[in-house]
Every structure is written in C-alpha cells, then in structure tokens.
Structure 1
Amino acid sequence: MSKKIISFLFILIVLGNFQAQGKAEKALEVFSEKYPQEKIHLVFNKNSFIAGENIWFKSFVFDGYDLSNISTTLFVELYDSNKTQISKKILPLVNGQGSGNFTLPENLKEGVYYVRAYTTWMANFNEDFQTLRPIVVYNPSSPQKLVINDNSKWTASIFPESGTFIDGIDTKFAVRLQSKGITPTDWSGYVVDAEKPDVKITSFKGFDQNVGSFSLTPKAGKKYKLIVEDSKSNKQTIDLPTVSDSGVNLQVSTGNEAVKFYLKSKNIAPGTLYKVIGTISNQLVFKVNSEKILEQSYSIPAAQLINGILQLTVFDDKENIVAQRLCFIQPELLKIKKPTLQSLALNESPRTLNTFNISQNSDNEAYTAFVMDGNSESSEDENSLLSTLWLTGDITSKIYTPAQYFTQNHNSEALDALLITEKWKRFDWKTIMSGTFPIISYKPQPYISYKGKVTVQGKPAANTDMNLLFEKPDQGTKLYQIKTDANGFFSLKGLYFEDAIKFSYQLNDAKIPKEQVQVIFQPDYSFIPLKNNLPASNYDLVQRANEDKPTNQVERYIVTKNNQSSVNEKATLIEEVNLKGQKKDKTQELNEKLSGPLFQSANETVFDLVNDNNSAQGSINILQWLQGRVAGLTLESDMGNYIPKLRGSEMNIYLDEIKIDPSMVSSISTADIAMVKVIKDNFAGGFGGGKGTIAIYTKRGGITGSVSNSTVPTKLKQITLNGFDKETPFVSPVYGDDNFNNISKDFRSTLYWNPRLKTQPKEPTKIQFYNNDDAKSYKVIIMGFDEKDYAPIYYNETIK
C-alpha cells in the first residue's frame, strides 16, 4: 500500500471467539497491498465552451483518500459523441496533480464531447473507474443545436437496507431514479398492499433527482407495491421484494460521534456464528466475530476514522455474505480545510483591478485557484473535488449533481439513502475470496520513457557503451553514457521535459564507423484504447432553424473568443518587455545551466549555493548540511564516511552528473559547490534507480561529463525525442495598459485561472484579476490537498 489513510486500525473482538483470519480478511489484505486504487478529479476553467476556444483543465489523482504517488504520467483524450478521438495529451503528474489544455477546432460541430483521463495503472482495472467527463461545445454555424433532454422516460428501482426484507422487521427502503436524460426534480411515492391498492400504507417525497426513502414493517405472505409519480403525472409501479420468513437485517445510523449498527434477525438457528467486517477504501477498519452478534448494537468511533464510504458486510460461518450496507462517515462533520480570504479589494466597476489574499492555514505547496463571473457556471457545480474524492470516484453509476451531497447545506439523509442503493464497486468479495485478482498488464509510467535498440551492420550491439550528447545553446554540451543489454536494447526512464529535445549519439568505440551504426528509439508508453461505450448525455441534437439566434451565453462566448487572439498577442508583448527589465530567477537560471535533460525531475529540490544558502560554506561535508533540510534524509556513518538514506533506502550520489561513491563526498569542499539537487523519484540520469539521488554540481560549471568541442554533436547522427505536451498559458487582459484599450466588449466568464498558485511559508498568497464589463459578483474556487491531515482544501463561494 502506498500510503496509510486511516488514523489507526480499529478491531473489535467480542467474547474471545475471534478466530484466525478467514478467506475474506486474507483476500482483502492481498487486494489492499497489491492493488491500490487511483481515481481522478478534473476541473475545467468553465462549464461549457464554443468551437475554437481553449479548454483548460486541472487534474487531481488520488490513491484512495490521499494524493497518489503511484503514477507520474497522466493520459487525457478528447472524443466526440461517436467515440472518434479528436485530440490527446500526455501530462506530468507532480505529487498527484497535473494540468493542461485542449484547443478546440474552429469547425467543430456543436455537441456533447467527452474528456477521458487515466493513468496506465488504472488501465489494469475496470474501465468504469477512469474519468470520462462530458463537455458541452456550442457552434452557431453548426447545422444542429443542443437542447436539454428533460422529457426522457425515467425508471425507479427499490432497495431494502442491507438487501434483506424480513417478516416483522421494520426496514428502511431507498428509491432510486435513473434516466437517459434528466430525472424529475419533483416526485413522490407511496406503498400499498397488492390486495388493497387504494389504501396507502406509507408515503414519501423524493429528496432530490436521485433518491427518496421510506420505512415499512412487512408481514409474511403479503405482497407490496410501490407507486412513484412525478409532477407531470408520469407514473411507475414497482413490486417490493418478496417478504422472507427468516434472515438477518443490518440497520445502520451515522452521526458525528460514531457509526452505529444493529443486526436484527428472525428464525436463525441458535449458535450460528456471524462476523461483520468494516472496510474503508479497501482497508480493514472494523471486525466483530461472535455467535452472540445478533440483536446487539455496535458502535464504531467516527473520530478514529476519516470522511469516506464505510462498507459493512455480514458473513455467516461459511463466509457467505448475508447482508451488506454502505454508509458515509461523519456526513455532518466534513473535514475540509477551508481557506480564508483576506484583504479583499473588490470593485464591480468595469475592467477594474480586484485583489485578495489567501491565508495559509494548511500544509500545501500550491493551490488551484480560479475566479469566475458570479453568474457563470463552473464544472464544480456538477461534480466537485469533494464529490469525486468521497463518492463518484468509487461509485460508477450515474448520479445527478453529486456535488450537492458535500455542500454547506447538504442533505445527509439523502446521501445515506443514495448509498443504500449502491454497492462497493472496487472489488467483489466472492471474486477476491476465490483468489481471482486483477491481471496487471500495465505498470505505472515513470514520467516519459523511451526504449531503443542499437545495431551495427544489422546485428545487435550487445553490452555496448553508447554516448548521448545534448547541446544547450551557449551552455556547452552534456554527455551521458548508457549501456545496451545482451540483445542490444537500452532504455531511458524518467525523462521530464516538454515539447522535444534533440540528442546526438555515437558508440564509445572509435573503431566502429558511425555509418555502420543504427539506433532506433521508440516511446516506452502508449495511449490505451477506450473499450466502453460513451455514456448518454442530458442533451439531444435537433436541426437548427434559419431564424435561430445564439443564446446570450453563446454570444458572450463568441465575443470572448474573438478578443482572445488580440489579448494573447498584446499580453505576450508586455511579458517580453517586462522580462527585459527583470532578472530571471537566479536559482532557476543556475539549474538550467548546470543540469542536463536526463537530470531533470518534477520532484526535485534545488539548493543554490551561489546566490543563496551561504551557511553551507561553514560545513565540512555537504551531506551534513543537507540533513535537516530534506524531509526523510538521514545519514549513517560507515568507516568515517556518511551514507545518505531517504526513508531507509540508500541514495545515489552524482558529482557533475557522474556517479560517485559516498566516500568521495568528504573530499569536496563546500566552497567549490555551486548547487545541490535532491531528486526523490525516478529520473532518466539514474537509469531506473528509484532510491533517491543527491546531485552535486561544482562551480566549474559541470566540466566533468561535458564535451569541450561544441561542434561534435553536429557531426553525429541526431534523434528527436518528444516529451510532455506543453500547456498553453491562460492569458487575461491587463487593463491600465494602453495595449488593451481597443477591446470594445469584455464578457469573459473566467476572470482568473491558475492551476498551480504557489504558496510561501508564513505569507499570504495573493490573487489579482481584472473585472469584465458587467460582473457584479465573483465565484471564487480554491482547491488543494493537505497531505499531513489527509484533508481536502476547498473553497467555493460567490462573493461581492
């Protein structure tokens, strides 16, 4: 398991009748440890688009209820409603987060499109858990237009709590609505005895567009029917399950203090042994095993758990499942780190500058933040970061507006009823207890990876050293040496770069003419075809009449799109002018100068000993100076030398990108060191080593491993390697600058978008944006994740 998400394991043992692990517990342990589950939340810069616009998005990848460290690469694809792929992107994940954009073609037809996001690890499991988000795209010149499908037929289904309906036991039922279009917002139902259809036994009103509930105490031999009706007089009649004369019914109630459950039964043989297992995100958190389990109440302290779905399963002595129930832990006490907005300077006048600060009250390196016109719709309105984390990431059925269950005034009773209608979809008890587990066909991608083969006159160059040379303009040429295996193959794993880079190559054997050498590179990753059908949308396409005019929203989109090219051009000019008057970040400049492309990683920490960190000059050994400055780094003494370890694993050490023994570090004077870089994950220069690396760079500029003659690469064969897709910058007008005076109308719906707003310790984080022409309020959305407390950071409010 990659990370623990439960504060501690809570096991309840009753009356000493606890036995050794059964099949269920053993199977769960294997599944939890070897098959962690990733899920993805996507947030977009707005809720709908027009052909020719950019779609910006931010991704959060979770492992259970924590940010994932399994995958470092995200695959994102755009499909039309016919499942034709329009575009695809490969993006880096840094601490489980990534961002990118799609540029929609100008001639894209109006319709519903789908953004698919997944990691290679997720491809080993049910495809239903991959993210597939519908996107509405308008195009007034398209022959067809979108209309909401609010007349589609709906169906109702009925679910008794825990799946059992037993004579004489008061049972809670949940009623679930489903439709290819939109389900009714106003609906109700009642129950009758089939023999007395005119007499209502009980009635209820639906909570929302998904679910309603009622309770009923059945009598054996009776047949019951449920009649459901909407406000348009559409009606359905559903038979309730047959009343059983024996069995076990699991009844659950959730509160801020505890999850309580009670097992009621009828006509059960005396001495029958039952056990109840409680799991959260595939981890065991509760167990009771006793022959006296029935007719007793049990309580699981909620404070010892986290927000999330708890699955309670009742097994008999043969480990058959007799009852199951999902519930949500502390639905009225959601552990959300809500940022505080301070120093608000907001002005509703057209095109004025607005600012506010975000108070840092959590362990978080960066926020995802965006500001919209208060009248605009956000993708968070339908499915929010909270609803993906706590609900839809693990529940694959269609839920209308799942975000509603985690808003400030949410209905916890509705959420509980919804979970009665669901089963845990991440695993099936019978399947894993039989020893059947997912087949792992895809391993997590270590950023960008390439594989290759070297041949000499058509024959594999076995166990041969090959030099890769990379030239940086005005910064010299870096040389790296890789070795082929017995069949002439080699690999480059953990490359982290955007767009493309060019390498020159040659064998490290002057006797072999370069004309006889052939090197073939190919990506060691691939996009995985979508097998499932696309889900139905809430829209229909109908023929557009000649007199049809675009809606006000679409008109505003058209104006914004037409302005954007001018805004981009002028903002670029301003940026270039500003850059000429500013110094580039000195540490970034030093890192770019000294680091080669194989020694770059998204998960690196740079210590600049030229411009900062002068305290290192007083240290005898650079490793001693690093200790305490790098989380998880410890030093062990071995024959007078220091061995650096990262969370118990020995780290590799490189000097000017040449691997050295730890004993050599003591001979390096800190006065000669220009920069130290700590890399905590896979990177290409480590050639697959994932133990962590300390890269030391001297003030000589990394002469070791460099090529003095810069003309050498031009004389060698070259290869171009493609990296991650580069994100198009989100650009807004900067009013107050004369370059933007010619914008006649400003109807932007998204006023500010920053998928990685960096925070500073003990300092507030500042946001500034310019108003459009008519916004009177602002929808502010701020997201992140506090890994220390396993809590989402979330703010979604409209302010004035």
Structure 2
Amino acid sequence: MKKLRPFLFLACLFMMGLISFDTPVQESVQIKNILGKLLLYSKNERPEKTYLLTDKDFYTNGETIWFKTYLVDGIDHKASNKSKVVHVELVGPDGQVVERRKQFAMGPGAEGEIRLDQELEQGEYTLRAYTKYMLNEDEPILFEKNIHIWMQSMTTSDFPENSQNLGNSKENGEGDASEQASRTIVRFFPEGGQLVYGMATKLGIEVTDGLGNGLAARGSILDGEGNIVTDFNSGEFGLGMVNLKPLPGKTYYARLNGESYNNEFELPKAINEGYLLNVTDRGEYILVQVATNLSDGLQGALLLGHLRGEVFLKQVVNGYGTKEHAVKIYPEQLKEGVAQFTLFTAKGEPVSERLFFVENPDQRASLSMDTDRKSYGTRDRIQIDLALADSEGNSLEGEFSMSVVSDNSLTSEYSRDIRSWLLLDSDVGATVPDAGYFFKDASQDRKQLLDALMLTHGWRRFEWQELLRQKTSKKLRFPPEKGITISGRTVSFHDNEKPRQSVASLTLMGEDLIYEKDSTDIDGRFSFGNFYFQDSLDAILQAESISKKPRSIDFILDSTHPMNLPAARKNSTKISKVVKPDNDYLLNAYKKKVADFKYDPKEVTQLDEVVVTEKKKTRKELINEAYNTMFSSSPFSRRVYRDSIFGGVSLSAMDLLARISGVWVTGTYPFQQIKLPGGPKSMNAGSIPGVMVDGVWSDITYLQGLRAIEVSFMDVNWADTTIFGSQGGAGVISIYTEKGLTFDEIPEKYPGIKDFKIPGFNKVREFYTPNYSLDKKEHEKPDYRSTLFWEPNIMLKKEGDNKLEFFTGDNPGRYLIKMEGLTNDGIPVSHTVEIEVDSSN
C-alpha cells in the first residue's frame, strides 16, 4: 500500500485539473475583451444559413428543377429573424448565371422551380442560394449544389436509334481533368496548429488527387536521415491521423508506398517552444488537454470553447509554472455541431485551436415514414403515415419537404443532406462530396474519420484576430432584405454625376395602387419598400427638386441583384461529384418527352421539318456584324453586352465588367478598380490592364469614367494577349462604343419622371400529381415520371392526421421517399425509405 501512495497522490493532482466547464473564470481585461467580442458576435452579428433541397440530382433539357430553400439563423437554426428574401441562381458551366429566382421566406423556407430550356447546353451546373446579408462576410459560405444537365435531341420516331440522343457523354476539358487527377497531394495538420519539439501530438492527414478527390493510401513518416519513424494510412475521403513526437534538430517528411506514389512530402516544421491542444472523445466525456514547454507555463491562459458562437467553456489556468491542464466536457449538455476550442495567452493572444464535432443523440429528432406496403403495382396508390418525435418519443412539430424519385435519380446514398450541411459544412466550408456519410451510423470508424476531418479543417465563420480588433459592430454593406425594395439616386438630368436632393415618390400599379413619398438625403439617395408581390409590376418614380431654383432631375436605380458576387467555379469547393445516370433514367426521360409531344400539344408542339431561308438578326448579331467589319482584335476570353444585363443602362462600364466570371471590380464609381485573372503580370501582381476604345489605345481613367449607356459591348482578354505587345502583359479590356449606330429604339426621357417594370417574387406552379382512382381522358398518356411526388410544404403537427398519398407511374423499379426539414426548435432531420414498383402486381 505504501508503494501506491505516490501514485495516488499524482492521480489526485491530475484529477484536480479535470474540473467541469462551469467553473468561475477569473477574468482579466484581456479575457473580458475576448468574451465580450464573442457575445457581440452572437447577439448582433449572427450569421444566416441557407440550404437548398431539390427533387433529384440529375436532369435533362426541358425538365423542371423543383426545389425548397431553407433560411435559418446560423447559430440556433431556427427561422431567421433578419432576412426574408432568398436569391437562388442556376450557374452554367462557364460561370455565368443562367436563371435567377427571388423567394420570400414566410417561415424557415420557401418553395421554387426552374424550368430548363430545351436548348440548354449540356454540362455541370451549380445551384446556389444566399441572402444579401450573407455577402457582408469577407468569405461568405454560400450553399452550392452541383447538378448535371444532359441534353437530349428529339427525333421524329418514338425512340432514338442511338444513345447519343439519350444524353451526350462528351465533356469539355476531360484531358485537363485527367492530368490534374493523376497528381497526388499529401498534407499534414498538427492538432492545435503546431508541432513542438519534444512534445507528442496528433497529425491529421489528407491525401487527395489534383482535383481534391480523396485517395486511400499507405505510407511512412521518415526523419532527415531516412529512418522510418511511424507508418500511416488514409481511408475514406483520403482522411487519417497519426501520432508523432518530433525530436529536437530533426526534420521529417512522408513517403507513400507503391510505385505510383514515389513523391516525398514535407511535414510542417516543428518549433522549439510552443503550445499543444489535444481533444479526445472518451465516450462518456470529451477530454480537453493543453500543454506548453515555455518557462512561465500556462499561468493566466484562457481555455475557451464555443459552438456556433455560443460559449460553453471559459476557464483560466491558475498557478505559475503550470505546464499542463485538463478539463472534462460532458456532451449531453451541448448542442450538436462543430465546436471550436481555443487557447489564449494571458495577454489575450490566440495560440492554439482545434475543431471537434460534438455528437449528442439526446439533441436529435426522429422522423418515421410508414408506408402501407413495401411493394406496389404501376399506377397504384401509396399511403404514408408521418410522425416526428424527440429522443424520448415526445411528439414534435416542424416544416418538411418530400420527394419520391427513382433510385437512379440520385448520385449517392451518402450525398449531402440538411443535417450534414447545417451541422458541419456550413461552419467549416465544403468538406467532402458525400458528407452525409458522417451521419449514417455510430460506428467507431466513422467517428475517427469525422475527427480526422476536424483536424484538417478550420473554423470559417470568423477569425479571432479580426474579431478582437473590432471596436464596434461591423457596418453592413448589405442590410437584411425584408421584401422588395426600389432604391437609387436622384441626379441632374444633364449630368448624372451631380446628385440632386429632392422629394421623390413611387407608384406601383398593382391590383391595389401603392403610393409612397419621401425626401432623399443630401446625396440624392432614396429607398422605398419593403413590398411583397409576385411576377412584375409597372412602377413610376417622380421627383421634385427641394431647392428654390427649379432643376431638372433624373434617376439612377440600384441593381436588383447583388453585385460582384464571386462566380461559382468548378472544383473550387468539394461539392457533389458528377455521376452520369444510367441509361434507364435517360431512356425514361426521353420516353416522357415523346409522350409530352403526343399528348400535350398545348405544352409542346412537334413541327414537321422546314427549311429556314432567312431570319431576322438579333441585336447581338447586328453588333457583331457591324464591328467585325470595322475593328479587329484577338480572340476574347469573355464578352459582355450592355443590353444583356438587367438595368444595364443605369450602371457604370465597370459594373458591366463585374458580371464576367473571374473579373473582380472594387470601389465605387468613378474610382472603381479592376482585377483580371491569371498571369504574373495581372492585377493580382499589381499591374493595370491595357484599355482600348474602338481599336485605339486609351488608359484606365477613361474606363473609370465611362457609363454603361455609352457602351455597346466589351471584350476582356487575358488568355492570349501576345499580339498586343507589352501593353497587353496584364490583360486587355477592349471597349466598343455605340459610334452613332443604334440597334434599338431608345425610349424618350423626361425630367423628373421614370417609368419601368420592377420584378417581383417568383410564382411557383403546382407539381402535377395524377389521381388514378378517377377515370380521366388525360390518364391515357403514358406516365414515365422519374419524380412521382414532390411536396415542399409539409407542416407536421403534434396532434392531427399527418398522412400523405400519391400514385406510382408506369415505370417499375426501386423508388426512394426522401424527406428533409427542420423541427420548430431548429433540429435538422433527414430520412429516406425505399419502396418497390412491380409491373406484375
């Protein structure tokens, strides 16, 4: 027993360090500043999050994308009390916006649809959803979902003779992608951010190809003399972890096994003195340990933990010379999601941090979908009973959406869902293509992979240094939108650069006449709203000068869409991989198109073949024809036409250029600056692009003072500018003015009045669901729908009859009933059940 006493004494000392996270904090001025700034963030600067659910993942030209957008508070995931307007955009393979939808969120969500054009280009598209308020962040985390649209060419026969008509398989850039994919990249991430000589720590591992796809690999870590220190391996998504204790004076590198992995990869360099932060899941509790090898130890250091901005741990280390400190965290007292642990010195400097995913089954809700059968016949009735409950079985309420689709309409069973987005990706950025994998089971392997994911990613919502520098709340560039607003400036009719203070009024010509009147500020700024209406309304603006001397007034309207929004770029984030649907999906989509031609002549009319000998030229064709005979230029990287931009006549020329993917414009007119992509001599390296006006060299100051109304179109060249000589080293902007040529009728302007159309919120069609229990003529049409049922607004109640019913179609096979949504308390829920449709039933 005497031999055990020293051990027991040390054990008691260690356990004294394992104090709970509600211990009072001895707050210094620096600590009060840290806690105060985080409180300010959670109170006044709460972020917003959006999530977009589509009925399926694949589409062909002519089909409709049915979707539901959820808009929630970024901390508690309840309906946002800031914005009410959500912008949804379909971005094409070239980064240009193809379709826009403006939605009004009555609660946590809003339904929408995008009908795809028959002539839409085949390729990988991106759906994104955001609010203007989200754009106040330096690097906003916007929800993006990759979808692939396949082009099908109709023939005069019922079925195509070859698979090319079902969906073309050739994609641009396959060679470049193959070359990138052949690269292997290995990265190591020390836990807490540092490798310190003589102190053991964990390393997160990420092995990917050049496109960011995870690779399973094995390898070894070696020291500078070539001695193997330890082995490691990466599993699913290329993730793994390994322990390492760097020795003083040693350097380390990694080498992958196998002939295809013959590259060497350096590890982060270790430092002589520093801090470690270790977080370990011990099952019943989470153990958080901090340590240092500095002489004064951890005296006065703050260990802080927050989850989405809400503090759950604030503890000061007492005792001069203390080198180690530990604390237990009990997850049943926390919400689920990404927690950030940060160690601050006594001076308030963040020196070590670590993300950890908190799992708490008691915080979850369960959704049951009980079908009356598991197998059905064609055109058979399906009935579903729905129930929503907490972990103890108590009934809950919430708002949900449901899609019923063929199983080959989805890319993966582990694709991102509302849980993986709100609890994981929305706080750390897009992680892996199939983030739903981390939420499917409670296996130890899955938990270890999730922890490896946390080691290889950082907190994205704010940076501590920037947050601590703020003296007050951020000034918002984009206030939350509550409805439709009409804003702009009143200026001199003869000089649009001179503001005119005035009394402005707005009249909206809807079913009910809306009239508002107000004085502008000294800069002529006015704003009317917030309005709610669908489609478009005629609007009239009027203004009278408030000065004694009568003055003629003109209007410059603000754009109705956010400016300078970064273009969606392929492979810039790890979002859904492109997987081609099987031929059954494409064949059924084609058969549906044939049936629409035969049975829905009002919707689509198939014409006999005709020969077109001449057609009226579009304005764009007239412009190209006129200017191609007058000027010559190199092949342009991008071209923008003034009349292709909504409200373009009220913008500056720089504003037009900002709509080009890859081009960045900052500042306000007439002091705007421009950056072109690519090249060491680009604006990114401090160079100014060359400017040509109607084929003659000019300078950037001319472009800065140019209004969009003076421009016909502009070319931006950055890919190959060698024919321009040294003046084209940083890219070239070629401006083509109207030159007295007109291709449109320009409406006559009158001082003090402006009439225009203002777009409203998008009106959504009702999803067609046939009722085959009734005998109708329309049921003679074959039913080849891949989406059998879509209901974006399911309100589950604690009491009442939560039932749904719909009918199968004519395609046998496996179908998935997928339901996603939020409880009223902000708990995200996703659930899928499977049914079978058998034509023999």
The answer, yes or no, to whether TM exceeds 0.5 is yes
Which of 518, 523, 532 is equivalent to 1:484?
Answer: 518
Per the alignment, residue 145 of structure 1 pairs with 170
Checking the alignment, whether the CA contact within 8 Å between 2:132 and 2:478 is kept in structure 1 is yes
Q: What's the counterpart of residue 275 of structure 1?
A: 302
Offset at 1:522? 6.0
1:315 equivalent in alignment to 2:382: no
Residue 534 (structure 1) shift: 1.0
Pick one of 733, 736, 739 that aligns with 2:777: 739
- Aligned partner of 2:66 among 56, 69, 77: 56
Alignment CA distance shift 1:753-1:405 (3 Å): same
Return the match for 2:248 from 215, 220, 244: 220
What's the offset of the Cα at 1:425?
A: 1.3
**Residue 453 of structure 2 is aligned to residue 418 of structure 1:** yes
Which of residues 111, 120, 129 is equivalent to 2:132? 120
- Separation in 1, partners of 2:816, 2:133: 35
CA deviation after TM superposition for structure 1 residue 112, in Å: 0.8
3-state SS of paired residue (1:209): helix
1:97, distance to aligned residue in structure 2 (A): 1.1
The range that moved more, 532-541 or 558-567, is 532-541
Q: Equivalent residues in 2 for 1:255-654 (5 A)?
A: 257-270=284-297, 272-292=299-319, 294-330=323-359, 333=361, 335-342=363-370, 344-361=372-389, 362-377=395-410, 381-409=414-442, 411-435=446-470, 438-451=474-487, 471=511, 482-485=516-519, 492-501=528-537, 525-532=560-567, 534-536=569-571, 551-563=583-595
Q: Determine helix, strand or coil for the equivalent of 1:158.
A: strand
Deviation at 1:174, TM superposition (A): 1.0
Contact 1:146-1:541 at 8 Å conserved across structures:
no
1:687 alignment partner in structure 2 = none
2:832 is aligned with 1:796: yes
Distance across 2 between alignment mates of 1:343 and 1:140: 35
For residue 176 of structure 1, report the CA deviation from its aligned partner.
1.1
TM-score scaled by structure 2?
Answer: 0.66
Aligned partners of 1:54, 1:85: CA distance in 2, in Å?
A: 17
Instruction: Write the deviation string for residues 456-508 of structure 1: whole angstroms up to 9, x where unpaired.
Output: x999997699887754xxxxxx566643336798754232221134689999x
Report the number of matched residues: 624
The equivalent of 2:233 in structure 1 is 205
Q: Is the 8 Å Cα contact of residues 11 and 288 (structure 1) preserved in structure 2?
A: yes
Pairing 1:750–2:787 present: yes
Change (3 A) 1:33 1:184: closer
Aligned in 2, Cα 1:565/1:519: closer, same or farther, shift over 3 Å? farther
2:102 corresponds in structure 1 to 90
Structure 1 residue 756: deviation in Å? Answer: 0.9
Mark the runs of 5 or more structure 2 residues left unpaired by the alignment. 1-19, 154-166, 390-394, 544-551, 605-753, 837-841
Q: 1:189 aligns with which of 195, 213, 219?
A: 219
Distance in 1 of aligned mates of 2:500 and 2:37: 45
Q: Distance in 1 between matches of 2:567 and 2:505?
A: 45
92 and 219 in structure 1: CA distance in 2 versus 1, 3 angstrom threshold: same
**TM-superposed deviation, 1:757:** 2.0
CA distance in 1, matches of 2:216, 2:102: 43
Does residue 158 (structure 1) correspond to residue 193 (structure 2)? The answer is no
Kindly indicate whether the alpha-carbon contact (under 8 Å) linking 1:40 and 1:117 is maintained by their aligned counterparts in 2.
yes
Counterpart AA for 1:145: K
1:244 corresponds to which letter in structure 2? I
- 8 A Cα contact 1:348 1:776, kept in partner: no
Query: What is the identity, as a one-letter code, of the residue corresponding to 1:536?
Result: N
Pair 540,502 (structure 1): closer, same or farther in 2 beyond 3 Å: closer
CA distance in 1 between partners of 2:248 and 2:536 (Å): 72
Paired with 2:94 and 2:104, the residues of 1 have a C-alpha distance of: 28
Q: C-alpha separation between the residues in 2 aligned to 1:242 and 1:505?
A: 64
2:382 is aligned with what amino acid? N
* CA deviation profile, 1:598-617 (whole Å, cap 9, x unmatched): xxxxxxxxxxxxxxxxxxxx
Q: Which amino acid aligns with 2:253?
A: K
CA deviations on 1:328-365 (whole Å, 9 max, x unpaired) are 112x6373312122352443322212111112445435
- Check 1:566–1:405 CA distance in 2 against 1; reply closer, same or farther (3 A cut): farther
Identify which range, 22-31 or 167-176, moves more after superposition: 22-31
Q: Is the 8 A contact 2:279 2:288 kept in 1?
A: yes
Q: Deviations over 1:528-584 (max 9, x none)?
A: 343356132899999xxxxx9993432232223444577888999xxxxxxxxxxxx
Distance 2:416 2:347 in 1: 41
1:238 Cα shift?
A: 1.7
Cα gap change, 1:184/1:72 in structure 2, threshold over 3 Å: closer, same or farther?
Answer: closer
The answer (yes or no) to whether the contact 2:505–2:541 under 8 Å persists in 1 is no
Q: 2:664 aligns to what?
A: none
Counterpart AA for 2:459: W
In 2 relative to 1, CA 549–271 (structure 1 residues): closer, same or farther, beyond 3 Å? Answer: closer
Check conservation: 1:360, 1:763, Cα contact below 8 A. Answer: no
- 1: CA distance, partners of 2:418 / 2:772: 32
Provide closer, same or farther for how the CA distance between residues 468 and 725 of structure 1 changes in structure 2, counting only shifts above 3 A: closer
Deviation at 1:162, TM superposition (A): 0.8
1:108 Cα deviation after fit: 1.7
Cα distance in 1 between the residues matched to 2:337 and 2:526: 44
Structure showing the higher strand proportion among its residues: 1
CA gap 1:495/1:466 in 2 versus in 1, 3 angstroms: closer
Structure 1 residue ranges without an equivalent (≥5): 1-9, 472-477, 508-516, 543-547, 573-716
- Alignment partners' CA distance in 2, 1:102 and 1:535: 21
**CA shift in 2, pair 1:321/1:506, >3 Å:** closer
Distance 1:389 1:563, change over 3 A: farther
On the 8 A contact 1:40/1:388 being kept in 2, the answer is no
CA-based RMSD: 4.2
How many Å apart are 1:326 and its aligned residue? 0.4
Q: CA deviation at 1:798?
A: 2.9
**Percent identity between the two aligned chains:** 22
- The question of whether the paired residues in 2 share the 8 Å contact of 1:780 and 1:798 is answered with yes
Q: What SS does the corresponding residue of 1:338 show, helix, strand or coil? A: strand
CA distance in structure 2 between the aligned counterparts of 1:182 and 1:242, rounded to whole angstroms? 24
The 3-state SS of whatever aligns with 1:426 is: coil
Alignment partners' CA distance in 2, 1:335 and 1:271:
34
Q: Secondary structure at the match of 2:69?
A: strand
Q: Is the 8 A contact 1:15 1:290 kept in 2?
A: no
In the TM superposition, residue 53 of structure 1 has moved relative to its aligned partner by: 1.5
Q: Secondary structure at the match of 2:135?
A: helix
Query: Who is 1:768 aligned against?
Result: 805
Given that 2:418 and 2:821 are in contact with CA atoms closer than 8 Å, whether structure 1 keeps it comes out as: no
> Using the alignment, how far apart are the partners of 2:219 and 2:254 within structure 1?
7
Q: d(CA) in 1 for partners of 2:266 and 2:25?
A: 41
Q: TM-score, normalised by structure 1?
A: 0.69
Q: Does 1:110 align with 2:122?
A: yes
Counterpart of 1:190 in structure 2: which amino acid?
Answer: S
Return the letter of the residue paired with 1:307.
Answer: E
Secondary structure of the residue that 2:404 maps to in structure 1? Answer: strand
Partner Cα separation in structure 1 for residue 781 and residue 414 of structure 2? 30
Deviation at 1:409, TM superposition (A): 4.7
SS of the aligned residue for 2:586 comes to: helix
The answer for the alignment partner of 1:617 in structure 2 is: none
